[in-house]
A and B are shown apart, each in its own frame.
Chain A
Amino acid sequence: MTDMETRDIQGHCLCGAVRLHATQYAKTVSACHCSMCRRWTGSAMWCLDVPTEALTVEGPVATYRSSAFAERAWCRDCGTHLWIRDDEGTEFELMPGLFDAAAKLRLRSEIYIDCAFACISLAGDHDRRTQAEYEKDQRHVEDTP
């Protein structure tokens, strides 16, 4: 279980139409480099875990079902990425870029490191897992390059 901070943080998208309020959030950020996350965000995908019951969202949220078990959300009006969420999960994996206060958080883990942009290299002694290591015991989309 990821260490949680119990404190209010406010976030918003680029145009301000979507506003988020969390009362609890992970103390660290994780990164996913799989081909779907890379294509969607145009970057690595960074995630800040927030328990479902700790999050309030207002505004024009659009969603896309990117797999049989998860959806991705963005602001309909400006395209800001908001979250990825597993249907059976107990938390939202929010984009930390939404929250100014999250800029100071540290990296906890990276997955799909063998699928990352050739140009990405994140320093530190955080946990790193390849596609094979991650998919060994986690639900995943088959045959993503």
Chain B
Amino acid sequence: MVAERKTGSCLCGLVRVEAVIDASSITACHCGQCRRWTGGGPYFSTGVSDVRIDGEDQIAIFAASEWGERGYCRSCGTTLFWRMKGKPLNNLAAGLFDDQSGLAVRQEIFVDRRPHWQSPWDGASQSTEAEEYAKLEAALKGSAT
């Protein structure tokens, strides 16, 4: 597990990102929203810190639920991130990074929503929709107090 600084961009290049990422920390999310949004999923969420974004005015935000919002490039449609409303950006789509070496999925979530054309990720922990919603409820309760 080595955190390193990586650069990346959307397909048209108007949104550029730079962040410290842990390449081995990817979460593959198969939830119904991620599957629909990305075209089939999973959404490969890469944990990031110290994020710098150029071209922020090109980012469109869609409020996909009461608690979450999704960012994409308004010029080319590239998937950028999912974030909790009102929280700092802590993940970026793995596809953005120029250097894709070392990427590994640590956890696969909403596995009961995985489409049949995909197979389970070897070596990743797995959790179901019910398990993830229980965690989300606890997190939302925690942030309300």
Which of A's residues lie within 8 Å of B, judged by CB? 12-15, 28-29, 31, 36, 38-46, 62, 64, 66, 72-74, 76-82, 95-98, 102-107, 117-119, 121-124
Whether B38 is near chain A, meaning CB under 8 Å from some CB there, is yes
Contact of A39 among B36, B60, B96, B121 (CB under 8 A): B96
Chain B CB within 10 Å, residue with most, of A31, A43, A46: A43
Please state if B38 and A81 are interface contacts (CB–CB under 8 Å). yes
Residues in A with CB closer than 8 Å to B39 are 41, 43, 45-46, 80-82, 95-98
Instruction: Report the interface size for chain B: residues with CB under 8 A from the other chain.
Output: 47
A112 smallest CB distance to B (angstroms): 12
Contact of A102 among B72, B78, B79, B115 (CB under 8 A): B115
Contact of A43 among B40, B116, B119 (CB under 8 A): B40
Please state if A81 and B100 are interface contacts (CB–CB under 8 Å). no
Residues in A with CB closer than 8 Å to B102 are 118
Residues in B with CB closer than 8 Å to A98 are 36, 39
Q: In the complex the two chains form, what is the Cα distance from A38 to B44 in whole Å?
A: 10
A49 smallest CB distance to B (angstroms): 13
A13 smallest CB distance to B (angstroms): 7
| Closest A residue, CB atoms, query B96 | A39
Q: In the complex the two chains form, what is the Cα distance from A80 to B80 in whole Å?
A: 12
B residues 68-106 touching A (CB-CB < 8 Å): 70-72, 74-80, 93-96, 100-105
Q: List 21 A-B contacts (CB under 8 A).
A: A13-B37, A14-B70, A28-B117, A39-B78, A42-B95, A43-B41, A45-B40, A72-B76, A74-B77, A80-B36, A81-B39, A97-B36, A97-B39, A106-B117, A107-B117, A107-B118, A118-B103, A118-B104, A119-B26, A121-B121, A122-B119
